[in-house]
């Protein structure tokens, strides 16, 4: 293989890499945001149990309130970037429940 052939091969491969690299933003956009981790999902379940005990509300009602607050069909779809807001939401709900009783 002479230098010109080698150069052509390398340039061709680089063009392929550049084309693939250009697709990364689109792929990430299609994947959407990362959702709550399994550990965070388990913590949501614990929060729901605590809030249910504190308020007497059925767990399904609490989950529905959570879905409405975060505009999701289920808590597993909450973006991971919203985790601090989720924790705050539960803390506020628990504080309200404690003030009532």
Q: What percent of the chain has pLDDT over 70?
A: 97
Rg (CA), the chain: 24
Domain parsing of the chain, residue ranges: 1-32, 38-100
Per-residue model confidence as pLDDT tens digits over 43-77: 999 999 999 999 999 999 999 999 999 999 999 99
CA dihedral 68, 73, 74, 79 (to 10 degrees): -80
Q: Is the pLDDT of residue 85 over 90?
A: yes
Q: Which 8-state DSSP code applies to residue 34? A: -
Closest CA to 43 of 91, 101, 98: 91
- The pTM assigned to this predicted structure is 0.68
């Amino acid at each position: 293989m002479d230098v010109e052939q080698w150069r052509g091969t390398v340039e061709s491969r680089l063009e392929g890499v550049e084309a693939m690299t250009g697709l990364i933003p689109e792929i990430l956009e299609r994947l959407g945001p990362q959702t709550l981790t399994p550990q965070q999902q388990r913590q949501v379940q614990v929060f729901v149990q605590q809030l249910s005990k504190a308020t007497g509300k059925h767990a399904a009602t609490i989950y529905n309130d959570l879905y409405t607050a975060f505009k999701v069909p289920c808590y597993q779809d909450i973006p991971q970037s919203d985790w601090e807001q989720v924790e705050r939401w539960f803390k506020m709900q628990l504080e309200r429940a404690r003030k009532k009783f």
